Structure 1
Amino acid sequence: MKEKQAIFSKLIQDNQGLIIKVSRLYTNSLEDEQDLFQEIVLQLWRSYDSFRGQSKISTWMYRVALNTAITLFRKKTKSPQTSELHDVQNQIHYEHEEEKQDQIALLYRVIKLLPKVERAIVLMYLDDQPYREIAETLGISEVNARVKMNRLKKTLKELMETHG
């Protein structure tokens, strides 16, 4: 069990940027962001044993994180703590990254104006995820992911101009 916890903890530490980005884009306060981060980690822990390696680990993590952000976190509920999870969470050090550049802050603000699925597409695109993985994660075709992202680029540009 300790080995499983250590492997999972390392996985979270190595990919915490992904979880932070999802948490940041689907919440409006630092407290909610941290709560969502913890909820995503809990959902990743719960589904960890079922990950079979049929997709990249980042694709699986995105799928769980986005599903949690979009569906499970609508109602603010406290997640049940288990001693196992508590041990894992103690190993994870959540560090909130402070945004220093005005353009990045503006980009996040306008991304939050998008519908939830479009936010996910932009987030994965900005994380250099291939269209194939974006499509697989969201359950859409690769062509659809490309078309949506091209439209979203134009939309984001317009939003940044009007909100900047």
Structure 2
Amino acid sequence: MSKDFYTQFILPYAGIIIKICRAYTDTEEDFQDYYQEVCLQIWNSRKNFKEEAKWSTWVYRISLNVCMSLLKKRKKKQARSTDYIEVQNIPITENSFQDESLQLLYKAIRQLSELDRAIILLYLEENSYKEIATIIGTTPNNIGVRITRIKKQLKKLLDGKIY
């Protein structure tokens, strides 16, 4: 990957990539692996970008697909192992987030299904229902219904102060 490509096409969208990777990982090591894999996949698929959507939409889609794929691989690997540590019990490192309420929010988001995680992250980034639907591959109406349900689920999780 060239430094120019990284500077022009990845670095301005690093916030998107970081938020998505944080929502799908529990440790700093996993976060770094996911972030690097997302960047690599953006580089590898750059020629497939047809400019039918914004570049940020493309980055979201790749980030979500990579993180969900890596999560599925990790779950399969853990299922085959008889002596693994449950990922949900691994603490987030102290420097992962400075704000305690943000830590709780990400912990609650990690409790959601993979698809719901993706939807709420896109919603929190203030994407329109139409943009979210484009990235996820569904209708804006479906996104509206899902967001309402996700908000209720997150409220329940946060009210219980997940630990």
- TM-score, normalised relative to structure 1: 0.80
**Is structure 2 residue 124 aligned with structure 1 residue 114?**
no
Q: Output the amino acid matched with 1:50.
A: N
**Is structure 2 residue 148 aligned with structure 1 residue 146?**
no
Show the 5 A alignment for 1:77-96: none
Which position in structure 1 is the counterpart of 2:99? 101
Q: Output the amino acid matched with 1:24.
A: R
Pick from 54, 61, 67 the counterpart of residue 63 of structure 1: 61
Structure 1 unaligned runs (5+)?
77-96
Structure 2 unaligned runs (5+)?
75-94
Q: Output the amino acid matched with 1:44.
A: I
Whether the 8 Å CA contact 2:24–2:71 is kept in 1: the answer is no
What percent identity do the matched residue pairs reach?
A: 38
Which position in structure 1 is the counterpart of 2:49? 51
Show the 5 A alignment for 1:22-33: 22-33=20-31
SS where residue 28 of structure 1 aligns?
coil
Instruction: Provide Cα deviations, 1:3-34, integer angstroms capped at 9, x if missing partner.
Output: xx514432211000111111111111100000
Q: Output the amino acid matched with 2:149.
A: R
Q: Output the amino acid matched with 2:112.
A: L
Poorly superposed stretches of 4+, deviation over 4 Å: none
Which position in structure 2 is the counterpart of 1:134? 132
Whether the 8 Å CA contact 1:36–1:73 is kept in 2: the answer is no
RMSD: 1.8
Q: Output the amino acid matched with 1:145.
A: I
CA positional deviation for 1:153:
1.0
Instruction: Provide Cα deviations, 1:66-110, integer angstroms capped at 9, x if missing partner.
Output: 11111245336xxxxxxxxxxxxxxxxxxxx74222111100000
Instruction: Provide Cα deviations, 1:122-144, integer angstroms capped at 9, x if missing partner.
Output: 10000111110110111111100
Which position in structure 2 is the counterpart of 1:20? 18
Q: Output the amino acid matched with 2:42.
A: L
* Alpha-carbon separation, structure 2, partners of 1:30 and 1:100: 14
Q: 1:101 to 1:8 in 2, by over 3 A?
A: closer
Instruction: Provide Cα deviations, 1:24-48, integer angstroms capped at 9, x if missing partner.
Output: 1111110000000000001000001
Aligned residues: 142
Q: Output the amino acid matched with 1:51.
A: F
- TM-score, normalised relative to structure 2: 0.81
* Alpha-carbon separation, structure 1, partners of 2:58 and 2:42: 9
